[in-house]
Structure 1
């Protein structure tokens, strides 16, 4: 498992449905055990790449479906990490959700940007 594989796996799964942030936390945990990098740092970096690169949005599930959190990528990543800290990194589906953007869909389906 490496960062590129995590990115691909999340985007591929995101083609079909929204993902709880738990999925990213779990995959980053596996990689952090292999690499020795702090789990929080790795998760934050991966999330920053995906959100900052316009591949994923972060939000909640509400009455209208997926409702993206407002703010720039840095603010959203910070909010996710703070929320994960608040639940001792055991989100159990309750922190936030990830949704592919059209750019993320195209990247994983091989149709380019």
Structure 2
């Protein structure tokens, strides 16, 4: 599977429905290429703050790809000129969630947008 776009809102919904859990997070500085590991708990705290930040909540790019049978890898901030870091996050399917359910959740905003164009 090649990288596909998603939104922070779609990702938040998957977290809220307990369909995925964060298993690892690596933050890479775009200027120095220095890598730092971040705990899943810290990522979730920062993600919640980001989602509550109002107009900034859609300021980052979110892409994903399949990374094994029960994992999705997220790529955050790679395109944004306003972000000093790139963030790689590995998500594991949880609570019996299937690949189709997770991918449908990650594509929800784009699917709705395309449906509105054909209406």
**Bin for the TM-score computed over the shorter chain:** 0.3 to 0.5
Q: Higher strand share goes to which structure?
A: 2
With normalisation by structure 2, the TM-score equals 0.35
- Larger-gyration structure (1/2): 2
Q: Higher helix share goes to which structure?
A: 1
